[in-house]
Structure 1
Protein backbone atom coordinates (compact mmCIF):
# COMPACT_ATOMS: atom_id res chain seq x y z
CA UNK A 1 0.00 0.00 0.00
CA UNK A 2 1.26 3.46 -0.87
CA UNK A 3 1.12 6.39 1.51
CA UNK A 4 -0.78 9.56 0.63
CA UNK A 5 2.58 11.30 0.03
CA UNK A 6 3.68 8.62 -2.42
CA UNK A 7 0.36 8.80 -4.25
CA UNK A 8 0.67 12.57 -4.44
CA UNK A 9 4.19 12.18 -5.85
CA UNK A 10 3.06 9.86 -8.63
CA UNK A 11 0.14 12.13 -9.49
CA UNK A 12 2.31 15.27 -9.52
CA UNK A 13 4.89 13.72 -11.84
CA UNK A 14 2.20 12.33 -14.14
CA UNK A 15 0.44 15.70 -14.31
CA UNK A 16 3.43 18.04 -14.65
CA UNK A 17 5.96 15.90 -16.52
CA UNK A 18 8.74 17.67 -14.69
CA UNK A 19 10.67 17.00 -11.51
CA UNK A 20 10.97 20.69 -10.67
CA UNK A 21 7.29 21.42 -11.35
CA UNK A 22 6.25 18.35 -9.36
CA UNK A 23 8.42 19.61 -6.47
CA UNK A 24 6.84 23.07 -6.71
CA UNK A 25 3.33 21.59 -6.66
CA UNK A 26 4.13 19.51 -3.59
CA UNK A 27 6.07 22.34 -1.87
CA UNK A 28 9.21 20.29 -1.55
CA UNK A 29 12.78 20.52 -2.85
CA UNK A 30 13.53 18.82 -6.21
CA UNK A 31 16.25 16.75 -4.53
CA UNK A 32 13.75 15.46 -1.98
CA UNK A 33 11.33 14.50 -4.77
CA UNK A 34 14.09 12.77 -6.72
CA UNK A 35 15.14 10.80 -3.65
CA UNK A 36 11.55 9.77 -2.92
CA UNK A 37 11.09 8.62 -6.53
CA UNK A 38 14.19 6.40 -6.37
CA UNK A 39 13.11 4.97 -3.03
CA UNK A 40 9.78 4.05 -4.58
CA UNK A 41 11.51 2.25 -7.46
CA UNK A 42 13.75 0.39 -5.01
CA UNK A 43 10.77 -0.63 -2.94
CA UNK A 44 8.98 -2.18 -5.94
CA UNK A 45 12.18 -3.25 -7.73
CA UNK A 46 10.84 -1.74 -10.95
CA UNK A 47 11.51 1.22 -13.22
CA UNK A 48 8.59 3.55 -12.53
CA UNK A 49 9.88 6.81 -14.08
CA UNK A 50 11.13 7.39 -17.61
CA UNK A 51 14.06 9.82 -17.31
CA UNK A 52 15.34 9.46 -20.86
CA UNK A 53 13.31 12.29 -22.35
CA UNK A 54 13.05 15.99 -21.74
CA UNK A 55 9.82 15.38 -19.84
CA UNK A 56 9.81 13.14 -16.78
CA UNK A 57 7.07 10.57 -17.33
CA UNK A 58 5.70 7.46 -15.70
CA UNK A 59 6.56 4.15 -17.30
CA UNK A 60 3.73 1.69 -17.98
CA UNK A 61 4.60 0.08 -14.64
CA UNK A 62 4.43 3.50 -12.99
CA UNK A 63 1.01 4.19 -14.51
CA UNK A 64 -0.27 0.83 -13.28
CA UNK A 65 1.04 1.48 -9.79
CA UNK A 66 -0.49 4.96 -9.69
CA UNK A 67 -3.90 3.79 -10.94
CA UNK A 68 -4.16 0.70 -8.75
CA UNK A 69 -2.82 2.43 -5.65
CA UNK A 70 -5.34 5.25 -6.07
CA UNK A 71 -8.14 2.71 -6.43
CA UNK A 72 -6.99 0.87 -3.32
CA UNK A 73 -6.88 4.11 -1.36
CA UNK A 74 -10.49 4.81 -2.37
CA UNK A 75 -11.46 1.29 -1.31
CA UNK A 76 -9.73 1.73 2.04
CA UNK A 77 -11.48 5.07 2.53
CA UNK A 78 -14.83 3.47 1.75
CA UNK A 79 -14.10 0.56 4.08
CA UNK A 80 -13.18 2.97 6.86
CA UNK A 81 -16.45 4.81 6.33
CA UNK A 82 -18.44 1.58 6.36
CA UNK A 83 -16.79 0.44 9.60
CA UNK A 84 -17.71 3.76 11.24
CA UNK A 85 -21.22 3.46 9.78
CA UNK A 86 -21.79 -0.01 11.23
CA UNK A 87 -20.26 0.99 14.56
CA UNK A 88 -22.73 3.88 14.83
CA UNK A 89 -25.71 1.56 14.33
CA UNK A 90 -26.41 2.02 10.62
CA UNK A 91 -26.67 -1.06 8.44
CA UNK A 92 -24.41 -1.63 5.45
CA UNK A 93 -27.46 -2.27 3.26
CA UNK A 94 -31.24 -2.27 3.63
CA UNK A 95 -33.39 -4.40 1.35
CA UNK A 96 -36.99 -3.24 1.10
CA UNK A 97 -39.50 -5.35 -0.83
CA UNK A 98 -42.80 -3.72 -1.77
CA UNK A 99 -45.81 -5.67 -2.87
CA UNK A 100 -46.54 -4.75 -6.47
CA UNK A 101 -49.97 -3.56 -5.40
CA UNK A 102 -48.27 -0.36 -4.18
CA UNK A 103 -46.90 2.21 -6.61
CA UNK A 104 -43.20 2.97 -6.33
CA UNK A 105 -43.73 6.63 -7.21
CA UNK A 106 -45.32 7.18 -3.80
CA UNK A 107 -42.04 6.16 -2.14
CA UNK A 108 -39.75 8.54 -4.02
CA UNK A 109 -40.13 11.43 -1.51
CA UNK A 110 -39.30 9.02 1.32
CA UNK A 111 -36.16 7.86 -0.50
CA UNK A 112 -35.12 11.49 -0.90
CA UNK A 113 -35.66 12.12 2.81
CA UNK A 114 -33.56 9.06 3.65
CA UNK A 115 -30.76 10.21 1.33
CA UNK A 116 -30.69 13.52 3.22
CA UNK A 117 -29.58 11.62 6.34
CA UNK A 118 -26.27 10.80 4.59
CA UNK A 119 -26.18 7.51 6.49
CA UNK A 120 -24.13 5.66 3.87
CA UNK A 121 -26.67 2.81 3.86
CA UNK A 122 -27.17 1.25 0.44
CA UNK A 123 -30.86 0.91 -0.40
CA UNK A 124 -32.15 -1.97 -2.49
CA UNK A 125 -35.82 -1.79 -3.42
CA UNK A 126 -37.58 -4.56 -5.33
CA UNK A 127 -41.15 -5.83 -5.61
CA UNK A 128 -43.00 -9.10 -5.29
CA UNK A 129 -46.64 -10.09 -5.74
CA UNK A 130 -49.06 -11.66 -3.23
CA UNK A 131 -47.39 -14.67 -1.55
CA UNK A 132 -44.01 -13.70 -2.96
CA UNK A 133 -43.88 -10.68 -0.65
CA UNK A 134 -44.14 -12.70 2.58
CA UNK A 135 -41.86 -15.33 1.05
CA UNK A 136 -39.12 -12.73 0.48
CA UNK A 137 -39.07 -11.89 4.20
CA UNK A 138 -39.17 -15.52 5.24
CA UNK A 139 -36.31 -16.51 2.91
CA UNK A 140 -34.06 -13.56 3.83
CA UNK A 141 -34.53 -11.71 0.56
CA UNK A 142 -35.93 -8.69 2.37
CA UNK A 143 -35.20 -6.79 5.57
CA UNK A 144 -38.55 -5.02 5.40
CA UNK A 145 -41.70 -5.71 3.39
CA UNK A 146 -44.42 -3.18 2.61
CA UNK A 147 -47.96 -3.72 1.35
CA UNK A 148 -48.10 -7.47 2.00
CA UNK A 149 -51.63 -8.90 1.87
CA UNK A 150 -53.41 -11.66 3.81
CA UNK A 151 -52.73 -12.54 7.43
CA UNK A 152 -49.06 -12.62 8.50
CA UNK A 153 -47.72 -16.19 8.24
CA UNK A 154 -45.60 -18.00 10.83
CA UNK A 155 -42.11 -16.53 10.43
CA UNK A 156 -39.55 -16.67 13.29
CA UNK A 157 -39.14 -13.27 14.95
CA UNK A 158 -41.84 -11.70 12.78
CA UNK A 159 -42.99 -8.19 13.68
CA UNK A 160 -45.67 -6.30 11.80
CA UNK A 161 -48.35 -3.65 11.82
CA UNK A 162 -51.24 -2.73 9.54
CA UNK A 163 -50.43 -0.15 6.88
CA UNK A 164 -54.02 0.44 5.84
CA UNK A 165 -57.00 -0.94 3.96
CA UNK A 166 -57.30 -1.04 0.17
CA UNK A 167 -60.76 -0.87 -1.40
CA UNK A 168 -61.69 -2.54 -4.68
CA UNK A 169 -64.15 -2.12 -7.50
CA UNK A 170 -65.21 -4.70 -10.09
CA UNK A 171 -64.72 -3.02 -13.47
CA UNK A 172 -64.98 -3.78 -17.18
CA UNK A 173 -64.51 -1.83 -20.41
CA UNK A 174 -67.63 -0.25 -21.96
CA UNK A 175 -67.53 -2.75 -24.82
CA UNK A 176 -67.16 -5.79 -22.54
CA UNK A 177 -70.21 -8.10 -22.54
CA UNK A 178 -70.69 -7.55 -18.79
CA UNK A 179 -70.84 -3.75 -19.16
CA UNK A 180 -74.57 -3.81 -19.90
CA UNK A 181 -75.46 -6.91 -17.90
CA UNK A 182 -78.06 -6.59 -15.16
CA UNK A 183 -76.73 -6.07 -11.66
CA UNK A 184 -75.73 -7.50 -9.32
CA UNK A 185 -73.51 -9.82 -11.34
CA UNK A 186 -73.65 -13.43 -10.19
CA UNK A 187 -70.72 -15.82 -9.94
CA UNK A 188 -71.86 -17.80 -13.00
CA UNK A 189 -72.11 -14.62 -15.08
CA UNK A 190 -68.61 -13.53 -14.12
CA UNK A 191 -67.09 -17.00 -14.49
CA UNK A 192 -68.26 -17.13 -18.11
CA UNK A 193 -65.78 -14.36 -18.98
CA UNK A 194 -62.01 -14.23 -18.75
CA UNK A 195 -60.52 -12.63 -15.64
CA UNK A 196 -57.38 -10.50 -15.65
CA UNK A 197 -55.14 -11.38 -12.70
CA UNK A 198 -51.75 -10.25 -11.43
CA UNK A 199 -49.46 -13.28 -11.33
CA UNK A 200 -48.27 -14.37 -7.87
CA UNK A 201 -44.44 -14.24 -7.64
CA UNK A 202 -44.20 -16.91 -4.92
CA UNK A 203 -41.68 -19.65 -5.71
CA UNK A 204 -42.50 -21.99 -2.86
CA UNK A 205 -46.18 -22.57 -3.60
CA UNK A 206 -48.63 -22.75 -6.45
CA UNK A 207 -49.41 -19.09 -5.89
CA UNK A 208 -52.69 -17.25 -5.51
CA UNK A 209 -54.89 -15.20 -7.76
CA UNK A 210 -57.45 -12.83 -6.29
CA UNK A 211 -60.85 -12.59 -7.95
CA UNK A 212 -60.50 -15.65 -10.20
CA UNK A 213 -63.39 -18.06 -9.80
CA UNK A 214 -63.11 -21.82 -10.06
CA UNK A 215 -62.93 -22.88 -13.70
CA UNK A 216 -62.74 -19.28 -14.92
CA UNK A 217 -60.30 -18.51 -17.75
CA UNK A 218 -57.62 -16.03 -16.73
CA UNK A 219 -55.09 -13.72 -18.31
CA UNK A 220 -52.09 -13.41 -15.97
CA UNK A 221 -50.25 -10.09 -16.20
CA UNK A 222 -47.07 -8.82 -14.46
CA UNK A 223 -48.53 -5.99 -12.40
CA UNK A 224 -51.53 -3.95 -11.34
CA UNK A 225 -51.01 -1.24 -13.94
CA UNK A 226 -50.91 -3.93 -16.65
CA UNK A 227 -54.13 -5.39 -15.22
CA UNK A 228 -55.90 -2.03 -15.35
CA UNK A 229 -54.72 -1.43 -18.92
CA UNK A 230 -55.85 -4.90 -20.01
CA UNK A 231 -59.30 -4.39 -18.53
CA UNK A 232 -59.60 -0.94 -20.08
CA UNK A 233 -58.79 -2.60 -23.40
CA UNK A 234 -61.62 -5.10 -22.90
CA UNK A 235 -59.32 -8.10 -22.51
CA UNK A 236 -61.03 -9.34 -19.37
CA UNK A 237 -62.76 -8.38 -16.14
CA UNK A 238 -61.83 -8.21 -12.49
CA UNK A 239 -61.28 -6.25 -9.31
CA UNK A 240 -59.03 -3.18 -9.39
CA UNK A 241 -58.02 -0.65 -6.69
CA UNK A 242 -60.85 1.87 -6.39
CA UNK A 243 -58.77 5.01 -5.95
CA UNK A 244 -56.31 4.15 -8.71
CA UNK A 245 -58.99 3.96 -11.41
CA UNK A 246 -61.11 6.91 -10.26
CA UNK A 247 -60.43 8.97 -13.40
CA UNK A 248 -61.07 6.01 -15.73
CA UNK A 249 -64.42 5.46 -14.05
CA UNK A 250 -65.26 9.17 -14.23
CA UNK A 251 -64.50 9.27 -17.97
CA UNK A 252 -66.37 6.04 -18.69
CA UNK A 253 -63.25 4.19 -19.85
CA UNK A 254 -64.06 1.60 -17.19
CA UNK A 255 -67.51 0.70 -15.91
CA UNK A 256 -68.00 -0.23 -12.25
CA UNK A 257 -70.36 -3.17 -11.74
CA UNK A 258 -72.10 -4.33 -8.60
CA UNK A 259 -71.62 -8.02 -7.80
CA UNK A 260 -73.60 -10.46 -5.73
CA UNK A 261 -70.43 -11.32 -3.81
CA UNK A 262 -68.57 -8.06 -3.13
CA UNK A 263 -64.84 -8.25 -2.48
CA UNK A 264 -63.83 -7.33 1.02
CA UNK A 265 -61.19 -4.61 1.37
CA UNK A 266 -57.64 -5.89 1.79
CA UNK A 267 -55.58 -5.12 4.86
CA UNK A 268 -52.00 -4.29 3.85
CA UNK A 269 -49.11 -4.96 6.22
CA UNK A 270 -45.61 -3.71 6.96
CA UNK A 271 -43.42 -6.48 8.38
CA UNK A 272 -39.85 -7.25 9.37
CA UNK A 273 -37.89 -9.71 11.50
CA UNK A 274 -36.92 -8.51 14.96
CA UNK A 275 -33.57 -10.31 15.24
CA UNK A 276 -31.71 -7.24 13.94
CA UNK A 277 -33.10 -3.74 13.93
CA UNK A 278 -30.56 -1.16 12.77
CA UNK A 279 -31.08 2.57 12.53
CA UNK A 280 -32.06 2.50 8.84
CA UNK A 281 -34.70 -0.18 9.40
CA UNK A 282 -36.10 1.73 12.36
CA UNK A 283 -36.19 4.96 10.35
CA UNK A 284 -38.20 3.36 7.54
CA UNK A 285 -40.57 1.66 9.97
CA UNK A 286 -41.32 5.01 11.58
CA UNK A 287 -42.03 6.56 8.18
CA UNK A 288 -44.57 3.84 7.36
CA UNK A 289 -46.25 4.33 10.74
CA UNK A 290 -47.14 7.89 9.75
CA UNK A 291 -50.80 8.04 8.80
CA UNK A 292 -50.30 10.50 5.94
CA UNK A 293 -47.73 8.35 4.14
CA UNK A 294 -49.70 5.18 4.82
CA UNK A 295 -52.83 6.69 3.28
CA UNK A 296 -50.89 7.85 0.22
CA UNK A 297 -49.34 4.41 -0.26
CA UNK A 298 -52.62 2.54 0.09
CA UNK A 299 -54.67 4.90 -2.09
CA UNK A 300 -51.94 5.07 -4.72
CA UNK A 301 -51.58 7.51 -7.57
CA UNK A 302 -54.27 7.83 -10.22
CA UNK A 303 -51.86 7.60 -13.14
CA UNK A 304 -54.78 7.83 -15.59
CA UNK A 305 -55.98 11.24 -14.43
Structure 2
Protein backbone atom coordinates (compact mmCIF):
# COMPACT_ATOMS: atom_id res chain seq x y z
CA UNK A 1 0.00 0.00 0.00
CA UNK A 2 1.36 3.40 -1.01
CA UNK A 3 2.06 5.67 1.96
CA UNK A 4 -0.16 8.74 2.06
CA UNK A 5 2.05 11.83 1.65
CA UNK A 6 -0.42 14.07 3.53
CA UNK A 7 0.90 13.82 7.09
CA UNK A 8 -0.15 15.63 10.25
CA UNK A 9 3.12 17.56 10.06
CA UNK A 10 2.39 18.68 6.49
CA UNK A 11 -1.14 19.81 7.39
CA UNK A 12 0.17 21.73 10.40
CA UNK A 13 2.69 23.52 8.19
CA UNK A 14 0.09 24.36 5.52
CA UNK A 15 -2.27 25.68 8.19
CA UNK A 16 0.38 27.94 9.72
CA UNK A 17 1.55 29.34 6.38
CA UNK A 18 -2.02 30.07 5.30
CA UNK A 19 -2.93 31.82 8.54
CA UNK A 20 0.28 33.85 8.73
CA UNK A 21 0.50 34.39 4.94
CA UNK A 22 4.26 33.98 5.20
CA UNK A 23 6.75 31.13 5.44
CA UNK A 24 8.91 33.18 7.80
CA UNK A 25 6.09 34.01 10.21
CA UNK A 26 4.79 30.43 10.11
CA UNK A 27 8.29 29.15 10.89
CA UNK A 28 8.48 31.51 13.86
CA UNK A 29 5.13 30.26 15.16
CA UNK A 30 6.11 26.61 14.77
CA UNK A 31 9.64 27.22 16.09
CA UNK A 32 11.19 25.77 12.94
CA UNK A 33 13.57 27.03 10.25
CA UNK A 34 11.97 28.58 7.19
CA UNK A 35 13.89 26.12 5.03
CA UNK A 36 12.32 23.22 6.93
CA UNK A 37 8.82 24.47 6.07
CA UNK A 38 9.79 25.03 2.46
CA UNK A 39 11.07 21.45 2.28
CA UNK A 40 7.81 20.02 3.69
CA UNK A 41 5.69 21.98 1.20
CA UNK A 42 7.96 21.21 -1.76
CA UNK A 43 8.04 17.50 -0.94
CA UNK A 44 4.23 17.37 -0.63
CA UNK A 45 3.79 19.23 -3.94
CA UNK A 46 6.10 16.75 -5.67
CA UNK A 47 4.31 13.73 -4.23
CA UNK A 48 0.84 15.06 -5.10
CA UNK A 49 2.03 16.60 -8.38
CA UNK A 50 0.24 19.87 -7.62
CA UNK A 51 1.14 23.41 -6.59
CA UNK A 52 -0.05 24.33 -3.09
CA UNK A 53 1.09 27.95 -2.72
CA UNK A 54 1.77 30.82 -5.05
CA UNK A 55 3.50 34.10 -4.33
CA UNK A 56 1.52 37.35 -4.36
CA UNK A 57 4.11 39.97 -3.49
CA UNK A 58 5.43 38.97 -0.07
CA UNK A 59 2.38 36.85 0.70
CA UNK A 60 2.12 33.07 0.34
CA UNK A 61 -1.40 32.33 -0.95
CA UNK A 62 -3.00 28.92 -1.38
CA UNK A 63 -3.88 27.76 -4.87
CA UNK A 64 -7.34 26.28 -5.51
CA UNK A 65 -5.89 22.78 -5.09
CA UNK A 66 -4.05 23.86 -1.96
CA UNK A 67 -7.28 25.26 -0.51
CA UNK A 68 -9.02 21.90 -1.02
CA UNK A 69 -6.20 20.06 0.76
CA UNK A 70 -6.14 22.48 3.68
CA UNK A 71 -9.92 22.82 4.19
CA UNK A 72 -10.35 19.07 4.65
CA UNK A 73 -6.97 18.89 6.36
CA UNK A 74 -8.11 21.28 9.08
CA UNK A 75 -10.96 18.90 9.87
CA UNK A 76 -8.37 16.16 10.30
CA UNK A 77 -6.27 18.37 12.57
CA UNK A 78 -9.32 19.24 14.64
CA UNK A 79 -10.32 15.59 14.95
CA UNK A 80 -6.78 14.65 15.97
CA UNK A 81 -6.74 17.33 18.65
CA UNK A 82 -10.10 16.18 19.95
CA UNK A 83 -8.87 12.59 20.01
CA UNK A 84 -5.81 13.62 22.03
CA UNK A 85 -8.01 15.55 24.47
CA UNK A 86 -10.35 12.60 24.91
CA UNK A 87 -7.44 10.26 25.52
CA UNK A 88 -6.12 12.61 28.21
CA UNK A 89 -9.60 12.82 29.77
CA UNK A 90 -9.96 9.06 29.98
CA UNK A 91 -6.45 8.67 31.37
CA UNK A 92 -7.29 11.12 34.17
CA UNK A 93 -10.70 9.61 34.99
CA UNK A 94 -12.93 11.87 32.86
CA UNK A 95 -15.28 10.06 30.50
CA UNK A 96 -15.22 10.74 26.77
CA UNK A 97 -19.00 10.30 26.67
CA UNK A 98 -21.94 10.31 29.10
CA UNK A 99 -25.26 8.63 28.30
CA UNK A 100 -28.23 10.02 30.21
CA UNK A 101 -31.85 8.90 30.43
CA UNK A 102 -34.29 11.64 31.54
CA UNK A 103 -37.73 10.64 32.81
CA UNK A 104 -40.47 12.24 30.71
CA UNK A 105 -42.13 14.06 33.63
CA UNK A 106 -38.93 15.82 34.75
CA UNK A 107 -38.59 19.60 34.31
CA UNK A 108 -36.72 19.46 30.99
CA UNK A 109 -35.89 23.18 30.96
CA UNK A 110 -34.12 23.02 34.32
CA UNK A 111 -32.30 19.83 33.33
CA UNK A 112 -30.84 21.43 30.19
CA UNK A 113 -29.86 24.56 32.11
CA UNK A 114 -27.80 22.34 34.43
CA UNK A 115 -26.41 20.38 31.47
CA UNK A 116 -25.36 23.65 29.83
CA UNK A 117 -23.44 24.62 32.96
CA UNK A 118 -21.72 21.24 32.96
CA UNK A 119 -20.74 21.42 29.28
CA UNK A 120 -19.41 24.95 29.70
CA UNK A 121 -16.86 23.50 32.13
CA UNK A 122 -16.30 20.23 30.22
CA UNK A 123 -16.86 21.04 26.52
CA UNK A 124 -15.06 17.98 25.15
CA UNK A 125 -17.31 15.44 26.88
CA UNK A 126 -19.85 14.05 24.43
CA UNK A 127 -23.37 13.75 25.90
CA UNK A 128 -26.19 11.49 24.68
CA UNK A 129 -29.61 12.31 26.18
CA UNK A 130 -32.66 10.09 25.73
CA UNK A 131 -36.18 10.10 27.17
CA UNK A 132 -37.41 7.31 29.42
CA UNK A 133 -40.75 6.42 30.98
CA UNK A 134 -41.47 4.46 34.19
CA UNK A 135 -39.32 1.27 34.22
CA UNK A 136 -37.45 2.31 31.10
CA UNK A 137 -34.76 4.27 32.95
CA UNK A 138 -34.02 1.49 35.42
CA UNK A 139 -33.95 -0.98 32.53
CA UNK A 140 -31.46 1.13 30.57
CA UNK A 141 -29.23 1.61 33.63
CA UNK A 142 -29.19 -2.08 34.50
CA UNK A 143 -28.13 -3.08 30.99
CA UNK A 144 -25.51 -0.29 30.67
CA UNK A 145 -27.40 1.55 27.95
CA UNK A 146 -27.02 4.72 30.05
CA UNK A 147 -24.69 5.95 32.78
CA UNK A 148 -27.18 8.14 34.63
CA UNK A 149 -30.96 8.30 35.00
CA UNK A 150 -32.70 11.52 35.99
CA UNK A 151 -36.15 11.34 37.57
CA UNK A 152 -36.60 7.56 37.59
CA UNK A 153 -39.70 6.63 39.63
CA UNK A 154 -39.80 4.66 42.86
CA UNK A 155 -39.28 2.00 43.97
CA UNK A 156 -35.51 1.78 43.52
CA UNK A 157 -34.62 -1.77 42.39
CA UNK A 158 -32.83 -3.62 45.18
CA UNK A 159 -29.48 -5.43 45.00
CA UNK A 160 -28.56 -3.87 41.66
CA UNK A 161 -25.61 -1.84 42.91
CA UNK A 162 -27.30 1.52 42.38
CA UNK A 163 -26.69 4.83 44.12
CA UNK A 164 -30.07 6.59 44.16
CA UNK A 165 -30.59 10.15 45.38
CA UNK A 166 -34.19 11.35 45.86
CA UNK A 167 -35.22 14.42 43.90
CA UNK A 168 -38.14 16.71 44.76
CA UNK A 169 -41.63 15.29 44.39
CA UNK A 170 -43.31 16.01 41.07
CA UNK A 171 -46.95 17.01 41.40
CA UNK A 172 -49.03 14.87 39.03
CA UNK A 173 -52.63 15.90 38.52
CA UNK A 174 -55.50 14.16 36.68
CA UNK A 175 -56.91 16.33 33.91
CA UNK A 176 -59.55 16.46 31.19
CA UNK A 177 -59.92 18.84 28.27
CA UNK A 178 -62.64 21.50 28.43
CA UNK A 179 -63.69 20.20 25.00
CA UNK A 180 -64.23 16.64 26.28
CA UNK A 181 -67.86 15.48 26.27
CA UNK A 182 -67.74 14.76 30.00
CA UNK A 183 -65.73 17.77 31.14
CA UNK A 184 -68.82 19.03 33.00
CA UNK A 185 -68.18 16.23 35.52
CA UNK A 186 -64.66 17.45 36.39
CA UNK A 187 -65.67 18.89 39.78
CA UNK A 188 -68.35 16.33 40.64
CA UNK A 189 -66.35 13.69 42.51
CA UNK A 190 -69.24 11.25 42.96
CA UNK A 191 -70.50 11.40 39.37
CA UNK A 192 -66.96 11.37 38.01
CA UNK A 193 -66.00 8.17 39.82
CA UNK A 194 -69.07 6.48 38.40
CA UNK A 195 -67.95 7.42 34.87
CA UNK A 196 -64.19 6.76 35.11
CA UNK A 197 -64.28 3.25 33.66
CA UNK A 198 -66.02 4.47 30.53
CA UNK A 199 -63.56 7.30 29.93
CA UNK A 200 -60.51 6.63 27.75
CA UNK A 201 -57.19 6.81 29.57
CA UNK A 202 -54.19 8.40 27.79
CA UNK A 203 -51.00 6.53 28.72
CA UNK A 204 -47.36 7.12 27.86
CA UNK A 205 -45.59 3.91 26.86
CA UNK A 206 -43.18 2.43 29.40
CA UNK A 207 -39.82 2.46 27.57
CA UNK A 208 -38.48 -0.71 29.25
CA UNK A 209 -37.33 -3.22 26.63
CA UNK A 210 -36.21 -6.15 28.77
CA UNK A 211 -37.63 -5.84 32.27
CA UNK A 212 -41.34 -5.89 33.07
CA UNK A 213 -43.19 -2.74 32.03
CA UNK A 214 -45.72 -1.05 34.27
CA UNK A 215 -48.39 1.59 34.27
CA UNK A 216 -49.36 4.39 36.63
CA UNK A 217 -52.20 6.80 37.30
CA UNK A 218 -55.84 6.25 36.32
CA UNK A 219 -55.80 2.46 36.16
CA UNK A 220 -59.57 1.89 36.33
CA UNK A 221 -60.37 2.86 32.75
CA UNK A 222 -61.49 0.14 30.32
CA UNK A 223 -60.27 2.06 27.23
CA UNK A 224 -56.67 3.11 26.63
CA UNK A 225 -54.78 5.20 24.09
CA UNK A 226 -50.99 4.76 24.21
CA UNK A 227 -48.62 7.55 23.14
CA UNK A 228 -44.84 7.80 22.92
CA UNK A 229 -44.06 10.81 25.11
CA UNK A 230 -45.45 13.54 27.35
CA UNK A 231 -45.78 16.03 24.47
CA UNK A 232 -48.02 13.59 22.59
CA UNK A 233 -49.98 12.93 25.78
CA UNK A 234 -50.63 16.65 26.33
CA UNK A 235 -51.77 17.04 22.71
CA UNK A 236 -54.04 13.99 22.94
CA UNK A 237 -55.61 15.29 26.13
CA UNK A 238 -56.11 18.78 24.67
CA UNK A 239 -57.83 17.11 21.70
CA UNK A 240 -60.42 15.60 24.05
CA UNK A 241 -59.37 12.01 23.42
CA UNK A 242 -59.38 10.98 27.07
CA UNK A 243 -58.14 11.67 30.59
CA UNK A 244 -54.80 11.22 32.32
CA UNK A 245 -52.21 12.44 34.78
CA UNK A 246 -49.73 15.14 33.81
CA UNK A 247 -46.99 16.99 35.73
CA UNK A 248 -48.35 20.35 36.86
CA UNK A 249 -45.22 22.23 35.74
CA UNK A 250 -45.85 21.15 32.13
CA UNK A 251 -49.48 22.30 31.94
CA UNK A 252 -49.77 25.47 34.04
CA UNK A 253 -50.68 27.50 30.95
CA UNK A 254 -53.46 25.11 29.88
CA UNK A 255 -54.88 25.03 33.40
CA UNK A 256 -54.87 28.81 33.78
CA UNK A 257 -56.40 29.30 30.32
CA UNK A 258 -59.12 26.73 31.05
CA UNK A 259 -58.17 24.41 28.19
CA UNK A 260 -57.50 21.65 30.73
CA UNK A 261 -59.53 21.04 33.89
CA UNK A 262 -58.34 19.22 36.99
CA UNK A 263 -60.40 16.14 37.77
CA UNK A 264 -61.80 15.95 41.28
CA UNK A 265 -61.20 12.29 42.07
CA UNK A 266 -60.25 12.93 45.68
CA UNK A 267 -56.49 12.74 45.24
CA UNK A 268 -53.50 13.86 43.23
CA UNK A 269 -50.52 11.59 42.68
CA UNK A 270 -47.22 13.18 43.66
CA UNK A 271 -44.46 11.21 41.99
CA UNK A 272 -41.34 10.23 43.94
CA UNK A 273 -38.34 10.11 41.65
CA UNK A 274 -34.59 9.62 41.83
CA UNK A 275 -31.25 10.47 40.31
CA UNK A 276 -29.39 7.18 40.00
CA UNK A 277 -26.22 5.55 38.68
CA UNK A 278 -24.21 2.41 39.27
CA UNK A 279 -21.90 2.57 42.29
CA UNK A 280 -19.23 0.87 40.20
CA UNK A 281 -19.13 3.88 37.85
CA UNK A 282 -16.32 6.08 39.21
CA UNK A 283 -16.13 8.54 36.32
CA UNK A 284 -15.36 12.14 37.23
CA UNK A 285 -17.80 13.49 34.66
CA UNK A 286 -20.66 11.47 36.09
CA UNK A 287 -19.78 12.66 39.59
CA UNK A 288 -19.60 16.31 38.54
CA UNK A 289 -22.87 16.27 36.59
CA UNK A 290 -24.82 14.35 39.23
CA UNK A 291 -23.70 16.83 41.91
CA UNK A 292 -24.82 19.77 39.76
CA UNK A 293 -28.21 18.13 39.30
CA UNK A 294 -28.56 17.48 43.03
CA UNK A 295 -27.60 21.06 43.86
CA UNK A 296 -30.07 22.45 41.30
CA UNK A 297 -33.09 21.29 43.27
CA UNK A 298 -34.41 19.46 40.22
Q: Shorter-chain-normalised TM-score: which range?
A: 0.7 to 0.9
Give the deviation of 1:263 after TM superposition: 4.6
Distance 1:157 1:22, change over 3 A: same
Which residue in the other structure is 2:145 paired with?
Answer: 141
In angstroms, what is the RMSD of aligned CA positions? 3.7
| 1:108 equivalent among 102, 106, 112 | 112
Give the deviation of 1:220 after TM superposition: 1.4
TM-score, normalising length: structure 2? 0.77
Which residue in the other structure is 1:265 paired with?
Answer: 270
Which residue in the other structure is 1:200 paired with?
Answer: 206
Distance 1:229 1:15, change over 3 A: closer
Distance 1:14 1:200, change over 3 A: same
SS of the counterpart of 1:165? coil
Contact 1:90 1:119 in 2 (8 A): no
Tell me whether 173-182 or 146-155 shows the greater mean CA deviation.
173-182
Q: How many equivalent pairs are there?
A: 284
SS of the counterpart of 1:180? helix
Q: Is 1:86 aligned to 2:95, yes or no?
A: no
Gaps of 5+ in 2: 1-5
Give the deviation of 1:242 after TM superposition: 3.2
Distance 1:107 1:217, change over 3 A: same
Which residue in the other structure is 2:242 paired with?
Answer: 236
Equivalence map 1:209-228=2 (5 Å): 209-214=215-220, 216-228=222-234
In 2, the alpha carbon distance for the partners of 1:258 and 1:101 equals 21
Gaps of 5+ in 1: 298-305
Give the deviation of 1:142 after TM superposition: 0.9
Equivalence map 1:152-171=2 (5 Å): 152-154=156-158, 156-171=160-175
Give the deviation of 1:40 after TM superposition: 4.9
TM-score, normalising length: structure 1? 0.75
